[in-house]
Amino acid sequence: MKLADGDFLLPVDKPVGPTSHDVVGMARRALGTRRVGHTGTLDPFASGLLVLCVGRATRLSEYFTGMDKRYDAVAHLGIETDTLDLQGEVVSTSDAWRDLDRTAIESATATQTGPINQIPPQFSAKKVDGEAMHRRARRGEEIALLPVPVTVHELAVTDVALPDLHFTVRCSSGTYVRAIARDLGQALGCGAHLRALRRTGVGSFDLSAAVSVSALDDARAVTAACMEPCEGLRHLTQVTVNDEVASRIRNGQRVRIADPGSASEALVAVTCGSDLLAMATLDEGVLRPRKVFPA
């Protein structure tokens, strides 16, 4: 699997407004293929990096979902909404933000950093009894959700323009930035909701290399932004094999490699040159193909 065969990863800068599925539809029309998928949803009100998989690279989407995310965000203090963002109905207001200073704000952000237990939003894609929470919430149901362990690696306040609080986040997959805004508001005693969100990074993918939605029909811009499948899997160990071993891997055979390295890996990407051959497990020097990409 390689770019030259029409199989590639495409970082796209999603604007505010369209859904992630809308962007996939735009890419399908512009690129002339139905085989387009994305690796992680952005809410319509959010903008920023959406990584698309094109061609056979759609089979790789599961290997990108667990990567850390980076965001620029704005929390609006003093107003809480049912969805925790600007699109929801106001449920409470407070003027307590007027008495806040930088010290209090920095102290509150410190409580939201590191390994934390975060209660997911009622309006979310999280499933309870097989149904997404946002569907139940829109019917007026309120479910007591258990806290979920997540990690906020970095949370930095970049600007204080009360009642707006601008901050950046680097967090583990599964972290809700809307919930961070909610919890910051609660820690500050005034409530808050998320007013703006822009995703700036997903693992090793960066927004600076993304193509705009308006340029999806510009072949030169798309070519400049697209990535080889094996390049996008840099977060995994890559095992390079020769042509003989590549043939066996493509046939789904287990292969013992001459130099297994110092440790076994649960999952590796097997390559031959720039060609991604398979996703495999490596155990005691034996490669076991799990997902093979024929030539």
Q: Write out pLDDT tens, residues 237-257.
A: 888 888 888 899 998 898 888
pLDDT at 134 over 60: no
For residue 108, is pLDDT > 70? yes
Report the pLDDT averaged over residues 64-73: 93
Catalytic residue among 13, 43, 183, 275: 43
Burial class (CB in 10 A: 0-12, 13-18, 19+), 288: middle
Q: Are 140 and 123 in contact (CB under 8 A)?
A: no
Confidence of residue 290 (pLDDT cuts 50, 70, 90): very high
How far, in Å, CA of 149 to CA of 52, rounded? 27
In this predicted structure, what is the pLDDT of residue 261? 56
How would residue 133 be classed by pLDDT, with cut points 50, 70 and 90? low
What domains, with CATH codes, occur in the chain?
A: 3-67+203-231 (3.30.2350.10), 69-202 (3.30.2350.10), 236-292 (2.30.130.60)
At 179 the three-state DSSP class reads helix
**In the structure, how many helices (H) and strands (E) does the chain have?**
7, 19
> Looking at residues 55-70, what average pLDDT do you find?
91
Q: Is 43 annotated in the active site?
A: yes
Integer Cα distance of 108 and 105 in angstroms: 5
**DSSP element (H, E) containing 52:** strand 47-54
List pLDDT tens digits, range 117-132.
998 887 666 665 565 5
The arithmetic mean of pLDDT across residues 94-102, rounded, is 95
At 211 the pLDDT is: 97
In the chain, what are the helix, strand and coil shares in percent, each to the nearest 5? 25, 40, 35
Which helix H or strand E contains 282, and what residues bound it?
Answer: strand 275-283
| pLDDT category of residue 273 using cuts at 50, 70 and 90 | confident
DSSP string, 110-144: HTTSEEEEEPPPSSSS-EETTEEHHHHHHTT----
Strand pairing report for 255-256 and 90-93: unpaired
